[in-house]
Amino acid sequence: MAAMTLLQARALTRHFGGLKAVDQVDFTLEQGSIHALIGPNGAGKTTFVSLLCGRVPVQSGTITFDGQDITALPAHARVARGIAYTFQITSIFANLPVYDNVALAIQRRGSSALRADTMAALARTGLDGRADQIAGTLAYGHQRLLEIAMGLALDPKLLILDEPTQGLANSEIDAFNSLVRAVTPKTTVLLIEHNMDVVMDLADTITVLNFGEVLATGTPAEIRANPAVQTAYLGG
């Protein structure tokens, strides 16, 4: 059965003055897959996903999602279409309980089973025992997991995770890997990650950005064996 395309970017470009943060990038995301985006610091990864989710306006090029052109849509409209983005820096409501953080996301999608759905999202990330804790008092790694729970609570078609394992202990990384595998193929995952063990373990496809351009796209084995990727990023 042929893979279905969920998201496609064509000639996507965003420059900041003389800096070509994203330059003529073509990118295809297959429905139900785990697709990793990697590259050196400053390669344009966060700008690229900010273009996809509408946090940064596109300078030129097009983005289609689920068969519709979303290039000009604002971020909130893309969320409504089914794109959830967790940030490189946590964006929780620090003064609210863990439960309320997730419940707000559940309410946003109009669920009629608020408590059950909220607790289910917390359970998926191992935070159900911390539902009453004030979010800002969580350890950093648990705050990252809470942010993922908030993203999952939206029941998105696409979940974009920006450096999700940053601050997680090894045992928490194992749980994170299991979580990501469990949400696919119902939810497609775009993973921006520096931990190459996580990338190689989880990803079906990897795209490497370098200086705002696509250096390579392929399976983990193909990327690991690519001489240009070894030179630019993997240190081979």
pLDDT at residue 232 greater than cutoff 60 = yes
Per the structure block, which two tokens stand in for 13?
């470009």
Query: Region 3-32: what's the mean pLDDT?
Result: 90
Position 71 confidence tier, pLDDT thresholds 50, 70, 90:
very high
Cα→Cα distances 163→16, 37, 79, 176, 193, Å: 23, 10, 20, 12, 5
| pLDDT for position 35 | 96
- For residues 17 and 92, what is the distance between their CA atoms, to the nearest angstrom? 32
Alpha carbons within 13 A on the beta-carbon side of 108: 20
Q: Are strands 34-38 and 205-210 parallel, antiparallel or unpaired?
A: parallel
- For residues 192 and 35, what is the distance between their CA atoms, to the nearest angstrom? 9
Residues 6+ positions from 77 with CB-CB distance below 8 Å:
54, 70
pLDDT at residue 80 greater than cutoff 90 = no
**What's the start-to-end Cα distance of the chain, in Å?**
36
Per the structure block, which two tokens stand in for 174?
């194992």
- For residues 62 and 53, what is the distance between their CA atoms, to the nearest angstrom? 13
pLDDT at residue 89 greater than cutoff 80 = no
Cα 221–Cα 224–Cα 230 angle in degrees, nearest 5: 165
Q: Is 142 exposed, middle or buried (0-12, 13-18, 19+ CB in 10 A)?
A: buried
| pLDDT for position 40 | 83
Q: What order do you get walking across the sheet with 158-162 strand by strand?
A: 83-86, 158-162, 188-192, 34-38, 205-210, 213-218
- For residues 95 and 92, what is the distance between their CA atoms, to the nearest angstrom? 9
**pLDDT tens digits, 103-119:** 988 887 777 789 998 99
Position 235 confidence tier, pLDDT thresholds 50, 70, 90:
low
Cα→Cα distances 175→145, 171, 218, Å: 10, 7, 26
Number of residues assigned to the chain? 236
| pLDDT for position 90 | 56
| pLDDT for position 233 | 72
**pLDDT tens digits, 132-178:** 999 999 988 888 889 888 888 888 899 999 888 887 888 888 888 88
**pLDDT tens digits, 166-188:** 878 888 888 888 888 988 888 99
For CA atoms 224, 230, 234, 236, give the dihedral sign.
Answer: positive
Q: Are 161 and 190 in contact (CB under 8 A)?
A: yes
**pLDDT tens digits, 41-69:** 888 898 999 999 998 889 899 999 999 99
